[in-house]
Structure 1
Amino acid sequence: MTSTAPRTAHTAAVAFGYADDVVVRCVREVHDAVARRVFGRWWGGHVPKVAHDAVASVAYAGVSGGLRGASRGLRHLADRGVGRSVESTPRTRLLRSAVNALVGDRLADGKDPYALPMVLRSDGADVVPDGAGFARAYPAATGEVVVLVHGLGENDDSWDFRAQRHGRTYDDTLHEQTAATPVRLRYNTGRHVSDNGAELSDLLADLVAAWPVPVTRLHLVGHSMGGLVVRSATAHGVAGRAAWTEIVATVVCLGTPHLGAAMERAAHAGSRVLSAVPESLPFATVLGARSAGIVDLRHGYVTRDEWHGQDLTARWGDGRLAVAPLPHATYHFVAAAADLIVSGRSAAGAGRDGAVVVAHASASRVPGGHLGLLNHPRIAERLVGWVNGRPPALVTGSDHPHSTPTQEGRP
């Protein structure tokens, strides 16, 4: 009996396929560009170039064929159940998430079993989104639910970042100090943010409908790209008149590139520079072969209308559409003081022109870097206050709507 569950052999198969599609093609195109310049300038003549091209073609065809054959063979073995499940260890789960960040859109389009589906997760396992599944995974379910949505290349395990150093996670703190039930989401971060947002909206509708007890309040917490996915989900939910949007009490975005991510813009700029010279153009192609999700980060896009039919490779970061927030929910945007990936202004959702992503959002900054926002003692303290519904002044002391986040002392 064959198995469709991803195995470790699938990881190698995807790697060989990527090497053939991108790396070998890049090397061959660089070789061709250099050869054209060499034969055209120093070794004039048609015959030497034809001979060179014939030999090179055979060599590259052999390498490409070998990689494709290895990829097919490994997939066949994985489909037969050979190798360990990629879900068996945190390391292989994280590797799968990282690969999905890079090429997850292509994996999903090709219905590759290595593509991650969007699921709720509990104790490292998928949760069946029905009454029985929720009851098994959350036996102490309450009427308040906190949904934790990770960022690019991360997964549900990422919320345990530095848990040993801090002694607890956000889940632990919420369990102990609030009446809410935290749940973790895992999804394919290589897909468009808007596609993930639409799917999350549907999943939240299923959660509210099948939760063991009536859900009275929802709290949505997103890290990095996860904040964009949350905002996209609320936009889809409102457009579809989904009932779950009426019970959202809190939206928290941690290091979210509402105005785009500086790191992705740097990659885009590098691609444009490399494309200026024929010999380096193939490297620009490699750098430009980023997933749809990563490109969305450059622009901060959350809806399909922002990217559909557009040449995103030629756009720097414009074209964002105003997405109405939920008027009855409180919004909290938190930036990291030493974040090299998302600027404080982008995380605060406040443009230099005075435009803001959410007019009534509070914005603040905590010490540390981008990943530190996944499990930060100061943020854990704030989450408790926000979920419990305390006035913001009692929780943060320094959060101000419409402002760039301000630095705070270390906890």
Structure 2
Amino acid sequence: MSPRQPVPSRPHTSPATPAGGSVSRTLKLGLQQTTRQVEAVHGAISATAFGLLRRIPFVGLPVRIAEGIHDTIAGGVYAVARHGGGALLDVAASVEESALAPGAPTARRVGALRAALNAVAGDQLAARGNPLAIAMGVFCAGQRLPLDAGALAAMLADSFPARPAAALQRIVIFVHGFGCDENIWLGGSSADRVADSADTARAASATALDAADTEPGRQPGIDAGIGERLADDLGLTSLYLRYNSGLPIEDNGRALGELLETLVAAWPARRPEIVLIGHSAGGLVARCACEAVDDAGEWPRWPWQRQARMLICLATPHGGAPLEKVADLATQALGLSPLTASLGRSASERRRRIDALRRDLAEPRPGAATRGIACRLLGTSLADDVEHPLGEWLGDGVVSLSGATHHPAPGDVASRRIGGVGHFALLHDERVYQQVREWIAALPQKAAPKATRRPRKAPVAAPAGG
């Protein structure tokens, strides 16, 4: 067999990015061209090295075998770099173009792409101060809530002019899972409505990455999501968290705790009751916030934790998820070659942090359920019969039944298993809604304070004899 010839660089004839084209598409073009050049140089060097080794007596066959393995792995790694990196940049480009184009589509689509990008590279985006990194915020009626008392009261009054003041006494915070945003909780029709002209104009501005901050409120008669239905049925206020799911869960839990402390301090009603509902990894974020202790190891870390009445976790992997085993195998495969070892180390580090958090949460120590916060766990299975062994094995396609309903701590803990529904479909399943409604409705109503006050001030003593 004649020595292998160096791989020539292939010409790339993609058209140049047009003036005004997205930065991400330009970066994709540069990434692919650079990767091809590096691959060509790598091929030339390896061809020369293997060619010399083949001339050594008695090692020709082993060298050819090693060369074939090397070429297969190297080609795969460069293909992943080109196509994987290109796919991420395509996502970023779609966000840019959707947000900046006149007459942009719904803000929900922009937000979904941005949430997916943050799930993959959110930690790096945040570390570099990239504007695509999602800043944590609380939303209501499609608008990011201001944390100033006056502005917050005005926004709530404008958004819900007919809602009774009593609805402000109980807040339900919805926390989405990995790779999603707050729109995952909305009903189909209500989530797909196009923004009004003011929102479209904002989406066309140079700062339109916040276009997803606006989404019109639900209209009567249109399919509603779980939060909207709870607000109507139980007379409460539903709020939705948006956060960067690419950051560590414990960091997001701590940030949620700080945000809720600021929000409650500015809330128009005094000492509102708080219920947190988390889906998938969002349940772990909410649980971290509820169970956080201060620097001295004392609970609560924030005053709002004493106002939290219930934590509801929907398909939350308290005890692990089957897909993690697949991820482990992929991580191990990446570590087999020096060419992909850095990718494997990055994946292993993220998994290590998740495992450490789960071990910490699994310890039989005082948790939310022993501190006056009722804990409700709901798991689903794709199998109709949740008692069948297949139902446990299948789980909801992402999280197993036992993983979703396992809770080590004693206290006010209850769980429910529902069959015939998957990980995301459960958010719009009638049985799930009725169970969540039943759990919240069973909470004893606390007497509302006679007066509200914002901002908080020390009470003023009445004049003597008055």
State whether TM-score is above 0.5. Answer: yes
Output the CA distance in 2 between the equivalents of 1:370 and 1:107.
Answer: 27
C-alpha spacing 1:359/1:212, structure 2 compared with 1 (3 Å):
closer
Aligned equivalent of 1:159: 185
- Give 1:349's aligned amino acid: H
C-alpha spacing 1:14/1:152, structure 2 compared with 1 (3 Å):
farther
Indicate the structure (1 or 2) with the bigger Cα radius of gyration: 2
1:133-144 alignment, distance < 5 Å? 133-139=151-157, 140=163, 142-144=168-170
What CA RMSD, in Å, does the superposition of the two structures yield over aligned residues? Answer: 4.4
C-alpha spacing 1:274/1:206, structure 2 compared with 1 (3 Å):
closer
1:244-283 alignment, distance < 5 Å? 244-276=304-336, 278=337, 282-283=339-340
**Which of 176, 183, 187 lines up with 2:232 in the alignment?**
176
User: When the two structures are superposed, what TM-score results if normalisation uses the length of structure 1?
Assistant: 0.68
Output the CA distance in 2 between the equivalents of 1:256 and 1:8.
Answer: 41
Q: Is the CA contact (8 Å cut-off) linking 1:258 and 1:357 kept in structure 2?
A: no
Deviations along 1:332-352, one digit per CA (max 9) or x if unpaired, are 1111112121111111125xx
State the secondary structure of the residue aligned to 1:182.
strand
- Give 2:54's aligned amino acid: W
Aligned equivalent of 1:346: 403
**Which consecutive unaligned segments of at least 5 residues does structure 2 have?**
1-19, 58-66, 68-73, 158-162, 192-221, 383-395, 445-466
C-alpha spacing 1:214/1:111, structure 2 compared with 1 (3 Å):
same
Aligned equivalent of 1:395: none
Aligned equivalent of 1:374: 427
Q: Is the CA contact (8 Å cut-off) linking 2:380 and 2:417 kept in structure 1?
A: yes
**Which consecutive unaligned segments of at least 5 residues does structure 1 have?**
1-6, 50-55, 307-318, 351-355, 392-411
Deviates more, 1:29-38 or 1:123-132: 29-38
Where relative contact order (Cα < 8 A, 6+ residues apart) is larger, the structure is 1
1:230-309 alignment, distance < 5 Å? 230-236=286-292, 239=299, 241-276=301-336, 278=337, 282-283=339-340, 285-286=342-343, 289-290=346-347, 296-297=353-354, 299=355, 301=357
**Which of 366, 370, 373 lines up with 1:324 in the alignment?**
366
Aligned equivalent of 1:364: 416
Q: Is the CA contact (8 Å cut-off) linking 2:176 and 2:280 kept in structure 1?
A: yes
C-alpha spacing 1:223/1:155, structure 2 compared with 1 (3 Å):
same
C-alpha spacing 1:189/1:294, structure 2 compared with 1 (3 Å):
farther
- Give 1:275's aligned amino acid: G
Output the CA distance in 1 between the equivalents of 2:151 and 2:334.
Answer: 50
Aligned equivalent of 1:409: none
- Give the C-alpha shift of residue 200 in structure 1: 0.3
1:9-408 alignment, distance < 5 Å? 9=22, 12=25, 38-39=50-51, 41-42=53-54, 89-139=107-157, 140=163, 142-160=168-186, 162=188, 167-236=223-292, 239=299, 241-276=301-336, 278=337, 282-283=339-340, 285-286=342-343, 289-290=346-347, 296-297=353-354, 299=355, 301=357, 321=363, 324-326=366-368, 327=370, 328-338=372-382, 339-349=396-406, 356-357=408-409, 360-367=412-419, 368-389=421-442
Q: Is the CA contact (8 Å cut-off) linking 1:122 and 1:137 kept in structure 2?
A: no
C-alpha spacing 1:27/1:283, structure 2 compared with 1 (3 Å):
farther
Q: Is the CA contact (8 Å cut-off) linking 2:373 and 2:412 kept in structure 1?
A: no
Aligned equivalent of 1:53: none
Output the CA distance in 1 between the equivalents of 2:313 and 2:377.
Answer: 5
C-alpha spacing 1:184/1:35, structure 2 compared with 1 (3 Å):
farther
Output the CA distance in 2 between the equivalents of 1:361 and 1:85.
Answer: 49
- Give the C-alpha shift of residue 115 in structure 1: 0.5
- Give the C-alpha shift of residue 289 in structure 1: 4.2
State the secondary structure of the residue aligned to 1:117.
coil
- Give the C-alpha shift of residue 159 in structure 1: 0.8
